[in-house]
Amino acid sequence: MMLSWENLIGHAATVAYLKKNIAEEKFPHAVIFSGAEGVGKRLAAEICAAALLCERPVDGAPCGECENCHLVAAKTHPDFYIVEAEATKTTRNIKIGQIRAMQIEAALRPINSARRVVILDGAELMNNAAANCLLKTIEEPPSQTIFILLTASRSSLLMTIRSRCMTINFDRLTAEQIRDALTARGVENSEAQRLAVIADGSFGRALKLKDSGGAKLREAALDTLEKISRAELSNEEIFKLGAQMAEWSRENFADFLTHTQKILRDVCFAEELEPHNSDLLSRLSKLKISERKIFLMIETGAEFHRRLKSNANLRLLAEAYLMSLRKAAVSG
Ligand SMILES: [Zn+2]
């Protein structure tokens, strides 16, 4: 993707601020981009890197044509360094070895440009040793190096790191911004509208949902609840659904659970809270389940979210969940 500010969705005031700082050569030496997953922090950081390393930046924007711009976009620029979490089977984290390797590079004189830029994506995923190691560099940064830390959980960073970095907040995107960006990518209008509503302000999540059939999972959740509320969910139906769900990934099943929980909350708190599924209100109003039963159903969902983390067989788990949900809905 072209590293151009025009490709970043939303964040107009933040972008203006970043461009001004770059143009005036006042970009901070260590900065935290804080905001939810998928709102554009990484793209913004890469555009900053390109603009900071570009030979002919224009008002804080990379020219997009010089060698440095091309090398940053290709992630092969010798003065541009990215640290990312490494995933193992069970966890994702940034290890001290990765920070040490980065520090060796960051201390070198820049090769192509006047400075170096380091992006640390997922800063909250540093373990303690890695964070303390990074702290030493942030305390006495090499004069020519700029550090951009990205995090979805600023409060889990060391206080000492937070206090030495300027923080720039990236808000959640509006549903309209996400919808427009999706339609610009060729997603059909009504589908874009549905995805935008359930993406919860994250364009990255909207794209993921699009690829995983996220809107379909929500529809499956609502369809199941409608059957339960009409007492039409038979054992036979449950076994059929269980067989279908056994083909899903665990992540998809977790999303199905989450959609079910959100729908139940919407039904229960329709008067008090901003609904998660504002586009479904007329269908939601037809779900006739008492408040007490809905609480039981939400508890059931929380319980199965926990059980999903074990290695339980997905088909058995899905069947047990649907049985428990139905039981909660008919309990006296
Ligand atoms: Zn350039």
pLDDT digits (tens, 9 = 90+) for 150-161: 999 999 999 999
Q: How many CB atoms lie within 10 A of CB 26?
A: 8
| CA 24–ligand 1 middle distance (angstroms) | 17
| CA 8–ligand 1 middle distance (angstroms) | 18
Q: pLDDT-based confidence at 89, cuts 50/70/90?
A: low
Q: Which among 164, 103, 152, 162 is positioned nearest to 125, based on CA atoms?
A: 152
Choose the weakest-confidence range: 75-84, 279-288, 318-327.
Answer: 279-288
Strand 80-84 vs strand 116-121: parallel, antiparallel, or unpaired?
parallel
Instruction: Write down the pLDDT at residue 90.
Output: 65
- CA gap 127, 93 in Å, rounded: 7
The encoded tokens of residue 60 equal 């804080």
| CA 22–ligand 1 middle distance (angstroms) | 13
| CA 318–ligand 1 middle distance (angstroms) | 53
pLDDT above 70 (res 212): no
| CA 61–ligand 1 middle distance (angstroms) | 8
The encoded tokens of residue 85 equal 């979490």
Describe the crossing of helices 250-268 and 314-330 by its angle, rounded to 10 degrees.
10
Q: Which among 165, 155, 153, 181 is positioned nearest to 11, based on CA atoms?
A: 181
Q: pLDDT-based confidence at 288, cuts 50/70/90?
A: confident
pTM for the whole structure: 0.71
Which residue did the predictor score with more confidence, 111 or 273?
111
Instruction: Write down the pLDDT at residue 1.
Output: 64
Q: Give the alpha-carbon dihedral of 216, 327, 295, 281, to 10 degrees.
A: 40
Q: What is the pLDDT of residues 28-81, one digit of tens each?
A: 999 999 999 899 999 999 999 999 999 999 999 999 999 999 999 999 999 999
In sequence order, the 6+-apart residues with CB closer than 8 A to the CB of 240 are: none
Q: What is the pLDDT of residues 226-259, one digit of tens each?
A: 999 998 999 999 999 999 999 988 888 988 998 8
Q: Kindly list the distances between the CA atom of residue 122 and the CA atoms of 92, 93, 126, 167, 329, in Å, as whole numbers in the listed order.
A: 9, 8, 8, 15, 41
| CA 74–ligand 1 middle distance (angstroms) | 13
| CA 77–ligand 1 middle distance (angstroms) | 12
| CA 43–ligand 1 middle distance (angstroms) | 16
Instruction: Write down the pLDDT at residue 74.
Output: 94
Q: pLDDT-based confidence at 11, cuts 50/70/90?
A: very high
| CA 53–ligand 1 middle distance (angstroms) | 7
Q: For residue 230, with 0-12 CB atoms within 10 Å meaning exposed, 13-18 middle and 19 or more buried, which class applies?
A: exposed
What percent of the chain has a predicted confidence (pLDDT) above 70? 97
The identity of residue 118, as a single letter, is V
What average pLDDT does the segment 309-322 reach?
91
| CA 63–ligand 1 middle distance (angstroms) | 4
Mean pLDDT, all residues of the chain: 91
Neighbours of ion ligand 1 (CB under 5 A): 54, 62-63, 66, 69
| CA 81–ligand 1 middle distance (angstroms) | 17
In sequence order, the 6+-apart residues with CB closer than 8 A to the CB of 213 are: 252
| CA 260–ligand 1 middle distance (angstroms) | 48
What average pLDDT does the segment 167-171 reach?
97
Instruction: Write down the pLDDT at residue 198.
Output: 81
Instruction: Write down the pLDDT at residue 34.
Output: 98
In sequence order, the 6+-apart residues with CB closer than 8 A to the CB of 81 are: 102, 105, 106, 116, 117, 118, 119
Widest CA span of the chain, in angstroms?
A: 74
Secondary structure letter of residue 147 according to DSSP: E
| CA 56–ligand 1 middle distance (angstroms) | 5
pLDDT above 60 (res 332): no
Q: Give the alpha-carbon dihedral of 32, 35, 38, 42, to 10 degrees.
A: -10
| CA 42–ligand 1 middle distance (angstroms) | 19
Q: pLDDT-based confidence at 177, cuts 50/70/90?
A: very high
Instruction: Write down the pLDDT at residue 251.
Output: 82
| CA 256–ligand 1 middle distance (angstroms) | 45
| CA 20–ligand 1 middle distance (angstroms) | 17
Q: Kindly list the distances between the CA atom of residue 3 and the CA atoms of 12, 111, 114, 196, 267, in Å, as whole numbers in the listed order.
A: 16, 21, 19, 24, 43
In sequence order, the 6+-apart residues with CB closer than 8 A to the CB of 263 are: 218, 221, 222, 225, 276, 277, 280, 284, 287
- CA gap 113, 65 in Å, rounded: 15
Instruction: Write down the pLDDT at residue 214.
Output: 65
| CA 52–ligand 1 middle distance (angstroms) | 9
| CA 119–ligand 1 middle distance (angstroms) | 18
Q: pLDDT-based confidence at 170, cuts 50/70/90?
A: very high
pLDDT above 60 (res 142): yes
In sequence order, the 6+-apart residues with CB closer than 8 A to the CB of 262 are: 276, 277
| CA 269–ligand 1 middle distance (angstroms) | 52
Instruction: Write down the pLDDT at residue 187.
Output: 87
| CA 110–ligand 1 middle distance (angstroms) | 16
| CA 321–ligand 1 middle distance (angstroms) | 55
- CA gap 165, 72 in Å, rounded: 23
